[in-house]
Structure 1
Amino acid sequence: MANSQWIEVSPKEIRKWVSELMDAGKFKLLSTMTGYQDGDKLNVLYHFFTTDGAVNVRVATPLSEAKIPSITPILVGAVLYEREIQDLLGIKFDDIVDGRRMILPEQWPEGVYPLRKDYHVSKEAHK
């Protein structure tokens, strides 16, 4: 997309940033959210469409902290993306409107996240 921008926002500022986008009347759509690990950091990418074009926002949190404020109090449609990232990467979204597991079964061990670099598939996973 010709009008595409990438910005970085701190975890403590993401909710404020989304609120300002909504209040400015520029929000059109949260296309998706993705998460990934980069060394000792976990990252969440928010992919927005606005009246000015695409805006991609990166929020990084230390692996040791793994916590970001949820944007669901402002934009409830983010709940499924946040739940997926929470299950697979272990990032806790503070104040998420529905923090239940979504992808992993209830019997999945706590503290084991399949998309983290330290995850290794065991024989148990193939049963």
Structure 2
Amino acid sequence: MLKGVLTLGIIISFGVAVSFGITTKSNNNVIISTSEIGSNHPKNKHGLTYGSSADTLTYGKEPDLIKAYGIDGTMGYVKKEDLHSPMPKTPEEALKLTKEAKDIEIPLYDNNGETVIGTFLLGSGSSE
């Protein structure tokens, strides 16, 4: 009895594996490695990726130039490094930075990452 159950299990497993392989091949699916996940953004002539951060598949893999709308409504891109400030090292430093936070204007670029086409307002989150 146990031998029959094991044989049936092996046959079912083989059938599932074969049907998965056929489905994958017939749908032309591409298997990508985890190192490629999040790299779905196009690159400009300078090798910088650009696009919406909403298209990012993996945390930390947002494009170099992130789609944004400027103060006047112009669509462009902000540099990822312009959006991220250094992380505080202590809770006291974090509290001080939060209290001193101000709105900052940063450049809004064309997708080449060089031509400034406007200004993006990076809000502090303060209601003052």
**TM-score normalised according to structure 1 size:** 0.22
- In terms of fraction of residues, the more strand-rich structure is 1
Question: Which structure's relative contact order is higher, taking Cα pairs within 8 Å and 6+ residues apart?
Answer: 1
- In terms of fraction of residues, the more helix-rich structure is 2
- Rg larger for: 2
